Amino acid sequence: MYRHAVLCVCLTVLVLFPCSESCELRPVHALVPKTIPAGYIISKGTKELNLQGCGLRPVAFTSSDPDFAVNTDGTIITLRGMRITTKHFAVHVKDESGYDWRVDVILTCKDEASQKSGNVVHRRFKRRWRPLPFAIIENDSPPFPKDVETIASDSSVNYTVYYEISGPGVTTDPVGLFTLDRDTGMIRVNRAVDREQYPQFVFKAQVFDRRTQQETDQFLPITVNVEDKNDNAPQFVGSLFFTVQERCSAGTIVGKVNATDRDLAKTHHTLIKYTLLNATDMFLIDGFTGVLSAKSNNLDREAQEKVYVGIEIKDMGGAPDGLSNKGTAVVTLTDINDNPPTFKEKLYKGQVTENQQNVLVLRIPVEDKDMINTPSWKALYEVSKGNESGNFRMETDPKTNEGLLYVIKPLDHEKTPLVKLEVTARNEAPLVGTSATWQSVPVELTVGNEDEGPEFTAPILRLKVKENLPNGTVIGTYAALDPETKSSNGIKYYKLTDPGNWITVVENTGELKVANTIDRESPLVSNDLYNISVKAVDESKKIGKGMVILQIEDMNDNMPVIPGSELIMCSRGDTLSSVLVEGVDKDQSPYSTPFIFELGAEHDGKWKLKDATSSSVVLEQAVHMPNGLYTVPLLVKDLQGLGEAQTVNVRVCSCEREVDGVGVCGARSASSSLGSWGILALVLSGLLLLLLCLLLIFFCSTKREKVALNDDTGTGGMLLKSNTEAPGEEVKDGAFMTLAGADGLDGSVNGIMADIKNVGLAGGHYSQQFGQGGGVYNNTTQEFGTEKYYLSGRHNGSLYGANTTYQKYGNVNTLDTWRSNKNYLDRKLAYLGEEEDGRYADDLLKTYGNEGMGSPAGSVGCCSNLGEHETMDFLNTLGPKFRPLADVCYTTTNTKK
């Protein structure tokens, strides 16, 4: 049944289509061993590969599997050894007309068990499904459905079967593309399919027993290949914009045009041919690679900057029935400097007034065909001829590219009324790809005349003069001429600058006369040169200026001298010391060095000279001399014998160091020789320091008065220094003065104790002299907080000494009892504990730490915190030095009682 169906189809095709197009190639089936060696012939002279029955001749074979090759006669052979069970690949056959044919090759291994010994029981194996892979044509034309192929299973011999298929194209996307006649096994396609979307379908076929609904055979994968049809035109891929330099050589690659085709690769359906539609005189394109290149070296950007090139791409290798597409490539020509700037005129003329400078006199325009604002377009100008004096400068206008001609040095109408120049223009970039050269143009400038001021015969006049010339001496004439008349008539001369006022200019003649002494050694002279400036004024008040440089020649008007106040000669013990004496002369040779050194006639013979040079001599001791300051008469003469005796002060001292041969005296040596003025300065400094100390004591004593409290009971509260370990006679009762109130000390309460004067000791008795009243009582009022306290006390003056005049010790002490003092102190402490503002730091309570470990007296700070009441037991532990003091105090107290 299957063979009859195929025969009918073939007959129908042969009737409807020509023979070459009705050829149907069946797959090639080959039975091979499981192990195939290299070079094994699969099929020899295969008729399907030779296109037998198709009326065509094959010209090339291509295997889709690299393990197999096809000879020119259609024989399939293996290229390497392998083991297989089944193998499926394809062979592409290209015919003489350029079409590709596909032939499937299916390899099945032999059943080697059937070839073994006859003793083995032969077992028949169930044959598998037939047929082999199917093929349909993409985008096939209606009507649909169309029969594809019939499937059949050998199990249909023993069973009444039906078939089912499932998978892609059947039950999955695209669903319903294929259907199956379950009774006959005919597979049909129901609509057109696009190979570019679905190149292949692999679905599953199954066979079932109608009675038991059980599978009677194993399922079979069915492969349906969608054969390509040339239904996609090629498309351009990538950019079609290209750039190439103008004047490039022929064959220069401009770029590559890329295209693609969705049809089956490596077939005529995707074989694209490129063709230029225009600009064929400028460019070439490779028909199968798409490489675009320059055809000649005459591409000119100035003629056409962008070239629009039409390109056609066509598949089937450009065959008439191929599908095509068109596009436009844009080729931009980049600029090179193949055009020099050209002048618009053959001659440029301008005008300038004489004596003008730094002025623009002419604009010179140019044309350049190259790209604007590039180095190939920007022009550079220079005055190539006529600017030997440097009077002109050329610049470029950056906006217009014009040449700007400037006069930078004044021109003279009388010398050159017409100036001829030549201006050359070039680009920033060098010329390329052309035989043209840089161009030049002549320029003529007319120099206008104006009334000018007088001009000196020489801008700078140099004169040689000797120093110390007499006033009124004529040293030269500096004259000027009128440029128009070439005459000096009516011109007057005036001096502009003369730092030393050494020269006078004669107004009518321009003579230069000496006005003051010319001194070469003056600081106004530099390198023997002295400058003055002169102006000339004509009748029209025009001014011309000039300069006179005086080169002053030296005269012997300076004697050599020995600089410095004194020389230091370092004392070296018993060795005779020496010092270097140098002379200086402001004059030049031959009026200066070499000097002649001699000792003065009045020298004392203790010095001598040695090792003289052109400008120095060594002064050495003739005998050893102690440290001190010495004067040495020394005569110094220049080369002409001009000189005088000079006195040199030489200090001989013990040097603490020497710097570059010059000694530095030590501190002891320097202080021992101060002299009378130095001693007087030291005495005055000491007196000033003493006065400063007295002033400080005065200011400190005039601060807020503090109440002085006494701890004793009326003895005067003063401790006497004793050099004995026990109380002597000087510290007994008689040593203290008991002041009687009625005899001399009691007086008016308003009495003020004056200064104690002329206090002395005579015959073991004390004498006192008091001034400003006989009373010594002083009333003192001190404010603490808001309360006032009145303190009345006895003033006591205590004198100590023996047989000499002693300085006074003044003190204000109260003679009140301990109880009165306690009350006063309690009040003061209460006040100090309440407020801190406005008081001295000494009046504030402060906290101090214990000043020692185990001290029975605790802290001895003047303002320590008041703690527990301390007993007087610590007095028993005091050392022996305190006992004389205790005895004195005790004796004094008993005496007063």
Q: For 566-597, write each residue's pLDDT tens digit.
A: 888 888 777 888 888 888 888 888 888 898 88
What pLDDT, on the 0 to 100 scale, is given for residue 800? Answer: 36
Higher pLDDT residue, 891 or 419?
419
Checking if the pLDDT of 803 tops 50, the result is: no
Q: For 40-93, write each residue's pLDDT tens digit.
A: 888 887 777 777 767 677 878 888 888 888 887 888 888 888 888 788 888 888
Spatial CA neighbour of 528 closest among 478, 469, 587, 585: 587
Position 50: which residue type? Answer: N
Higher pLDDT residue, 522 or 728?
522
- Residues in contact with 480: Cβ distance below 8 Å, sequence separation at least 6, in sequence order: 454, 455, 456, 457, 488, 491, 493, 510, 536, 544, 546
Q: For 82-102, write each residue's pLDDT tens digit.
A: 888 788 888 888 887 777 788
Pick the CATH number of 567-672 from 2.60.40.60, 3.40.50.850, 3.40.640.10, 3.40.50.10800: 2.60.40.60
**DSSP classification of residue 817:** -
Q: What average pLDDT is seen over the chain?
A: 77
Contact 599, 608 (CB under 8 A): yes
Band of residue 836 on the pLDDT scale cut at 50, 70, 90: low
Token pair for 224: 């349906």
Checking if the pLDDT of 856 tops 60, the result is: no
Higher pLDDT residue, 45 or 685?
685
What pLDDT, on the 0 to 100 scale, is given for residue 564? Answer: 79
Residue where the block lists tokens 């047989």: 803
Q: What percent of the chain has pLDDT over 90?
A: 35
CA separation, residue 662 to residues 272, 471, 621, 632 (Å): 105, 45, 17, 18
Checking if the pLDDT of 500 tops 70, the result is: yes
Checking if the pLDDT of 450 tops 60, the result is: yes
CA–CA dist 560, 587 (Å, integer): 9
Checking if the pLDDT of 638 tops 80, the result is: yes
Higher pLDDT residue, 334 or 112?
334
Position 280: which residue type? Answer: T
What pLDDT, on the 0 to 100 scale, is given for residue 619? Answer: 86
Q: CA angle, 783 as apex, 781 and 789 as ends, to 5°?
A: 50
Checking if the pLDDT of 733 tops 70, the result is: no
Half-sphere exposure of 466 (CA within 13 A, CB side): 7
Checking if the pLDDT of 837 tops 80, the result is: no
Spatial CA neighbour of 43 closest among 54, 51, 31, 55: 31
Checking if the pLDDT of 370 tops 70, the result is: yes
Higher pLDDT residue, 120 or 646?
646
Fold of 23-115: Immunoglobulin-like (2.60.40)
- CB-neighbour burial class of residue 736 (10 A; exposed 0-12, middle 13-18, buried 19+): buried
**DSSP classification of residue 742:** I
Position 93: which residue type? Answer: V
Higher pLDDT residue, 4 or 599?
599
Q: For 6-41, write each residue's pLDDT tens digit.
A: 444 444 444 333 433 445 677 888 888 888 888 788
Token pair for 797: 């003056």
What pLDDT, on the 0 to 100 scale, is given for residue 874? Answer: 62
Band of residue 106 on the pLDDT scale cut at 50, 70, 90: confident
Band of residue 660 on the pLDDT scale cut at 50, 70, 90: low
Q: For 155-171, write each residue's pLDDT tens digit.
A: 888 899 999 999 999 99
Spatial CA neighbour of 664 closest among 553, 569, 750, 800: 569
Highest mean pLDDT among 506-520, 743-757, 773-787: 506-520
CA–CA dist 569, 484 (Å, integer): 75
**462-553 under CATH 3.40.50.300, yes or no:** no
What pLDDT, on the 0 to 100 scale, is given for residue 329? Answer: 96
Lowest-pLDDT choice from 208-212, 305-309, 463-467, 809-813: 809-813
CA–CA dist 32, 41 (Å, integer): 9
Fold of 128-228: Immunoglobulin-like (2.60.40)
User: Within a 10 A sphere around the Cβ of 463, how many other Cβ atoms?
Assistant: 16
What pLDDT, on the 0 to 100 scale, is given for residue 845? Answer: 55
Classify domain 342-448 by CATH number: 2.60.40.60
**235-334 under CATH 1.10.510.10, yes or no:** no
Band of residue 879 on the pLDDT scale cut at 50, 70, 90: low
Q: For 234-275, write each residue's pLDDT tens digit.
A: 999 999 999 999 999 999 999 999 999 999 998 889 999 999
Q: For 639-649, write each residue's pLDDT tens digit.
A: 888 888 888 88
| φ and ψ at residue 102, rounded to 5 degrees | -110, 130
- Identify the H or E element spanning 823: helix 818-832
Contact 502, 463 (CB under 8 A): no
What pLDDT, on the 0 to 100 scale, is given for residue 2? Answer: 39
Band of residue 540 on the pLDDT scale cut at 50, 70, 90: confident
Question: Stretch 755-783: mean pLDDT, rounded?
Answer: 37
What pLDDT, on the 0 to 100 scale, is given for residue 145? Answer: 93
CA–CA dist 187, 71 (Å, integer): 36
What pLDDT, on the 0 to 100 scale, is given for residue 541? Answer: 85
What pLDDT, on the 0 to 100 scale, is given for residue 721? Answer: 47
Checking if the pLDDT of 751 tops 70, the result is: no
Highest mean pLDDT among 638-642, 669-673, 787-791: 638-642
Token pair for 25: 């190639």
Token pair for 55: 């009326």
For CATH 2.60.40.60, list the domain ranges present in the chain: 23-115, 128-228, 235-334, 342-448, 462-553, 567-672
What pLDDT, on the 0 to 100 scale, is given for residue 18? Answer: 40
